[in-house]
Amino acid sequence: MRYPTPMRVMSVLLIVALIGVQTVSAMAEAKDVKRKARVAFIGVYFEKTPERTQQRFSRRILSMLENVPAFDVINPDEVRQQVSSDLIDKALAGPSKELLFQIAGRLDVDYLYGGNLANQSRDESRVLLVGELFRVDRKDRLYNRFEIARYTSELTDTMKKFHKQFVKTVSVQYQAQKTVWPWLVLAGVAVAGLIAMSLTSSRSNAEGTGPGPITDRP
C-alpha cells in the first residue's frame, strides 16, 4: 500500500493553513464589548461648613456612585494616593476646569465627580449649602455644572435630581475585544497535520525497509 509522501502532506497542510488564516482573520475581527465606566469622586471643597455636615454630604455622594453597578468607582482616599492633595484642593477651590481634566487624565477615568460648596446660612442652627457639584466627561472634554442652593434639611429632592441628570445619564462604555478561539482551532489543525505527516513518513520508511539481497556463497 502506498502512502502520500511527506512533501504531498506538506503541500496539503500549506493550502489548509492559507485558507484557515483567511477564515480566522474574518472571525477574529474586533468586537465592541460593554465595560464598567471608570469613575472617580475626588471630594467636595467646603467653606464655613460644619465637619459633620461635610462628612455626611460626601458619604451621600460616594454612596450614590458606588451603588451604580455599571460604575467602577475610585473614592477620595484612593484618589489622594495617586494625585497630590494640593493639586486636588487647588482644582476644587476654583474649581479649575483645566486642573480637573488633568486629574482625570492621571487617574485614567471616564468621569470625574466633585463639588464646591459654602455654608451661607445666617442661622447658626441651620446649614445653607450654596455652590455646585460637577461631572467632568474626560473623553468629550465637557464640564457639567449642577447648582445647589438648599438647606441640608431640604436636600432630598435636589439629590434625586442630581442623580437623574448627572449619574443616570452616563453613557455605556465599550472596549474593543478580539476573539481568541479561532486561533486556537487553527493551531490545533496545524498540530494534527504535523502528527499525521509524521505517521505517514514513519509508515513509508517501514515499508521501504526489508532484508537485503541474499548472496549465495560458494
Tell me the pTM. Answer: 0.69
pLDDT given at position 7: 54
Average pLDDT rounded to a whole number, residues 122-136: 96
Per the CB < 8 A criterion, the answer to whether 107 and 82 are in contact is yes
Q: In terms of C-beta density within 10 A (0-12 exposed, 13-18 middle, 19 or more buried), how is residue 45 classed?
A: buried
Q: Provide the pLDDT confidence category of residue 43 given band limits of 50, 70 and 90.
A: very high
Q: Provide the pLDDT confidence category of residue 212 given band limits of 50, 70 and 90.
A: very low
Q: Provide the pLDDT confidence category of residue 182 given band limits of 50, 70 and 90.
A: low
pLDDT given at position 33: 75
pLDDT in tens, 140-174: 999 999 999 999 999 999 999 999 999 999 976 65
> What's the CA gap between 158 and 165, in Å, rounded?
11
Average pLDDT rounded to a whole number, residues 82-100: 96
